Homo-oligomer: A and B are copies of this chain.
Amino acid sequence: MTGIKDVAERAGLSVATVSRALSGKGNVSPTSREKARSAAAELGFVVSYHASSLASGRTHNVGLVVPSVHRWFYSAVIEGASAALLEAGYDLTLYNIGENPAHRHSVFTDFLLRKRVDAVIAVSLELSEAELQQLHAMHRPIVGIGGPLPGASTIRIDDTGIARKATNHLLGLGHTKIAHITGHDAYDQDFQLPGTRRGGFEKAMNDAGCPVRPEWIVSADFTIEGAYAAARQLLASSPERPTAVFAASDEMAIGTILAARDFGLRIPDDLSVMGIDGHDLGNVLGLTTIDQDAKGQGALAVRTLLGAITNGLVLEPADTEHPTTLVVRTSTAVPRAGTT
């Protein structure tokens, strides 16, 4: 394996100068810089970040902690973060918490503490006090996405606002009999998120003078499967059916669409459905949604962290609201005459 020493030799420079030339830090004459660069290129030399990090304290590596890798939002964030990091020459270490509590525990007690990362992105994690402490004990910049993270910088969307925006879209079309599929109030991963979105829904309904019927608010986990089951129940049990369903996520909206089709309900004629996310499948299904640009959130998190890293690893806790856009497709329409 070729090391910096070989490069120095070949370039006729000292190791120190080569290091400075290649890293861009410190003063190096253009001549030497060029010599170092070309020698490195000829030898196919790539610095060992291990050694580099030992000496400098910078690992050029960012940890990304996600609750799962399957749900759309997480994989979109991973994708956005991954591309941004690659661009910057950073590695991405993935910590997939998963369902196993032992895994979760070891991520916080062992993995993150190995001084292997310069910064951490935590996605939609509801952390215990102890976990939070361990996170902060790393003394590394942290960015939270999709949920509160006390003491860290966070990127979020205006959950209440978009829920209202979504509901208003349906109200604006003339719907009054609107059901809502919300998330479980599980306090393990999904925070108050279900609650805030539900709050926005209820607020919009109230403002419009529409009654919120408790039996039309059903909850599911944030998956297609879960919402499918919940929606079936909703559509089956109601003596009277809603004319529109606002689901708290696109995956839940998709589950709803699938369930609706089982009942022979045409969309949007018999039932309008909308979600929140900007899921890739939205296009195929013609799903009206509010795009929250998860990829962009991932990329923004990376930019924020990279800024903090060059800024001496300090990151002022701040709260950034990411913009969202209403995407109207064909799953929502004016309710059929007579159903209102």
Chain A residues in the interface with B (C-beta under 8 A): 1, 44, 46-51, 53-54, 59, 61, 64, 68-70, 75-76, 78-79, 82-83, 86-87, 89, 91-96, 98, 100, 103, 106-107, 109-111, 113-116, 223-225, 228, 255, 258, 261, 280-281, 283-285
Contact = CB atoms under 8 A, between A and B. Distances in A.
B225 A284 contact: yes
A299 to B, nearest CB: 12
A116 to B, nearest CB: 6
Contact of A54 (B54, B109, B110, B285): B54
Contacts of A281: 224-225
A284 B232 CA distance: 11
A76 B109 CA distance: 25
- Copies, count: 2
Contacts of A110: 46, 89
Given A46-B113, A103-B86, A228 B79 contact: no
A119 to B, nearest CB: 15
Given A82-B94, A92-B93, A225 B283 contact: yes
Given A49-B115, A69-B78, 15 more contacts: A1-B115, A46-B110, A47-B114, A48-B116, A50-B53, A50-B54, A50-B114, A50-B116, A61-B93, A78-B96, A82-B94, A92-B94, A93-B94, A223-B280, A224-B284
A49 B51 CA distance: 11
Contacts of A54: 48, 50-51, 54
Contacts of A91: 93, 111, 114, 116
Nearest to A68: B79
Given A228-B284, A283-B225, A86 B70 contact: no
- Which has the most chain B C-beta neighbours within 10 Å: A76, A96, A106, A111? A96
A251 B312 CA distance: 46
A70 B114 contact: no
A230 to B, nearest CB: 12
A152 B103 CA distance: 30
A79 B69 contact: yes
B83 A98 contact: yes
Contacts of A103: 83, 86-87
B255 A284 contact: yes
B96 A83 contact: yes
10 contacts: A46-B109, A46-B113, A48-B115, A50-B53, A69-B79, A75-B75, A91-B93, A91-B116, A225-B283, A258-B284
